[in-house]
Structure 1
Amino acid sequence: MTPQRIPVPTEHIYDTQARLRDIGPVVPIELSGGVGVWAVTTHAAAHEVLANDKVYARNARNYPALHDGSIPADWPFRPFIEADHMATADGLDHRRLRTMVNKAFTPSRVTALAPRIEEITAALIDDLTAAGDGVDLVPAFGEALPIKVICELFGIPEEDRAPLRAWTQSVINAGDQSVEAQLAMLGYLARFAERRRADLQDDLTSMLIKVQQDGEVTLSDDELAGMLFLFVIAGHETTMHLLDNAIVALSLHPDQRDLAIRDGLWEQVVEETLRRYPSVPMAVFRFTTQDTTLAGVELPAGAPLLLSLSGTDSAQHGADADRFDITRTHRAHLAFGHGPHFCVGAPLARLEGRIGLSALYQRFPKLRMAVDPSEVMYTSFTTSGPASLPVHLY
C-alpha cells in the first residue's frame, strides 16, 4: 500500500481522515521529513488502541527510529513525543502522575470555577460590544477565555501569557521552530515553578509543589515543568478550538443556533462540536510494544501510530455522521480520548464551552460569520480550528 502524504495543504484534516478511512482502517502515511507512520482511521480501531497502553504505548522509548539516527534531531514532531509529562508516560509512571493530577482536578474544584469563568466571559463580551461589528472572535474570545482561565488556575502572571501563547502556537504547528519553542517554554515554566516554590499561593502550581514537597507522590522538577507544559498547552489550545468550531457550526446552521438559544441546549452544542469537529483530530503518537495485528493489519513492534479522533465514522455514528445536529442522540466519541489517557481536563473544557457559548449568544443572538465559510483558514492538523473568525454581532 502506497503511503499517503499528510497534511495536504488544500485539504482539511477532517476530509483527509475520511479519505484515509475509505482506504482502510490502518493506512501507511508519510509526515514531514519523509517519516513513515500508520494512520488508524476508524472509531473501533482507535478505541482499541486507546484502551490498551500495554500493546500501544505512549512513551517514545518504544520508538527505536527516534533514537537510532533514522529521524533527524530537528524533526518538528519531536516535542509531541519526547516531552516528559503525564501524557507521555505509561503504566505505573502514568498512574503515579495521574493520581497527583486527579487531586487537583476534582469535580468540586472544577465546579467551583464556574463563577470565575462567568466573570471572565462577561468581561470579554463587554469588550466585544465595544469593538463592534467585524471583530475577530479567535483572539478576542475563543483564545482569550481559555488562556485566561488556565493561567489563573495555575497562577501564571498576566504579563507572561502572550509568550506562552506564542510558544504554544509554534509547538502545535510542528514547524521549523517547534523544538526551539518547546525548550523555551519548558525553561520558562521551570523558572516559574522555582519562583512559586518560594512563594506558595492558592493555585494549582502551588498544589503540585506541595504534593512534591510532602513526598505524597514522587515528582521530579523536570516532571513538574513537563506537567505545567502539558496543562498550559492542552488547557487552552483545545478549548479555544472548541469555542471557535462551535461558532462556525452555528453560523452555518442558524436554525440550530436559534434552537440552542431558545431551549438552552449548550451542553448538546458542546458535545456535537466535539464529535463532529474535534479540536484534536488526530491523537498524538502511540507505539506498538510488540508485533501485533490491528483491524486485520500486521504491525511490527515499534510502529508509530496516529489515531483519528474525528466522529464521522458511520459505523459508530450512523449514516448521517457528517451532519452537525445538536438534537442527535449521542454515541460515545473520542474527542477527549479513551482509556488510561482520557483527558483529565475534559470537565473544565466542557464547562468553559457551555458557559462561554451560552453567554455569547445570549448577548448576540444573531451572531454569524462575516466571511464566506470557504474563506476561513484553519490551523494545522495537530489541532484544528479557525485561524481567524470575523463575525457580525447583530
Structure 2
Amino acid sequence: MTTRQLHLNAFLMSTGHHEASWRLPESDPYAHVDLAHYVHLARIAERGTFDSLFLADGPQLWNNLAQRPAGALEPLTLLTALATATEHIGLIATASTSYNSPYNLARKFASLDIVSGGRAGWNIVTTAGAEAARNFGLAAEPAHAERYARAAEFLDVAQKLWDSWEDDAVVADKAAGVWGDDTKIHPPRHEGRYFSVAGALNVPRTPQGYPLLVQAGSSEDGKRFAARYAEAVFTAQQTIEDARAFYADLKSRTAEAGRDPGHIKVLPGIVPVIGSTEAEALAAERVLEDHIVYTHGVNRLENLLQLEPGTLELDGRLPDLPPESAIGGAQSCLLYTPEQVADAIETWFTQGAADGFNIMPAVLPSGLDAFVDHVVPILRARGLLRREYGPRRTLRERYGLPRPANQYVTPALARA
C-alpha cells in the first residue's frame, strides 16, 4: 500500500470526447448548453472523489456544425453555477492570455475562488490559430514565442493583482468605524512590454491566494512556461517510455527554475471505453466508429495532420506529415476493461510516468459513470485513491500544494 495518492481530473466535453458520441441513442445533442447535464457530470466526478473537473474553451467557434455539437457555455460562468451544486471538487477553466486582459481575468478567477470556497483552477493557454486572431481584429495569430512571452508577463501581472490585498487588509472594526487598512493594499503599478496595469484588484485575496495554475502543451516554449508557473500539467503520451521521459524532463526543468518538482503534477490523458470484458468494450468502440460520418472523419484527420482541406486521398499516396510531437494533443491512451484501466494507471503512477490522470470519457455521462462505478473501486482497493474527501479543503491542498505567500509581505511580517 502506497501513501502517495492519485490525482484525478475529469475533462468534460459535451456528450463525450468521441466525435460521434452525440449520435448514440443515450446522448442528448443539446447537452453542451444544458446546465443540468454539467451538474450531473460534476456530481458523478465528486462521487468518484476526483480532485477536479476541467472545461476546455477557445475564443472561436469549434467544429463544423454538421459534425458534432459546436459552441460552449463560457466556462467561468458555468463553473460558478457548478460551485453552488458541488461541495468538494475543484473547478478548472481554460482562458487565453492572448485574448484577455490581466485585470479582468484575474478578477474573474478570484471571484470564482471566493464563490467556490477555494476550488478554482486556471488552465492557461496562449491560443494558436488564425481564426481566433481574426475574431480580435488581427490579420494573423502572433508568433509562437511571442504568445508565450505575452503569457509570462500576463501571469506576472495576474499574480501581482491577486497579491494586491494582504490577507488581513479587511479589519471590519465596527466600533472604530474602520472597515479596512489601506496600508495593506499594494497596487501593482506595472509597466511592461505588453501590459500597463496601475491599480489593485477590486476583489480581496482569495482562499487559495490564487487559483491552481494548469498548463497543457509539450512544445519547448510550453515546457519552459510550465516549469516556471504550472502546478498541474495536462499532457498526452501513447507509451510509458514517452511518458516517463516527459515526466522526468518536466520535473528537472521545474527544479532548474528554482521550484520544488513535487509542486508540479503531471496528468496524462486517457480515453476509457469500458466494458465488462475487452470484447464488450471493443464492440462499444465499434459502435462509435460506425457512427462517424465518412467526410467528417477525413476532414478531422486532415486537420489533425495539419493538411490543407481536400489534400488527403485515402487510396492515394500519403502526403508529407508533421512530426509526431506536433500532433501530441490527439494521442491520449484508449483503454478497455476496468482492470486494464486500473493496471495501466497503477503502472504509470508507480513507475515515474504520472502523478495522476486526466480522464476523458468517450461518451458522457455513461463513460464517467462506468469509470467511477468500476475503476474507482479497484484503485481504492489498491490504496491509490482516497475513499472520501475528508475535511473540506481547497483545490490547492487536494493537489498537495502550499498556499502561495503574498509577494508584498515578508515572512517575518507574515508571522507577526
TM class by shorter-chain length?
Answer: under 0.3
Normalising by structure 2, we get a TM-score of 0.25
* Structure with higher strand content: 2
Please tell me whether Structure 1 or Structure 2 has the larger radius of gyration of its CA atoms: 2
Normalising by structure 1, we get a TM-score of 0.26
- Higher RCO structure, 1 or 2 (CA under 8 Å, sep 6+): 1
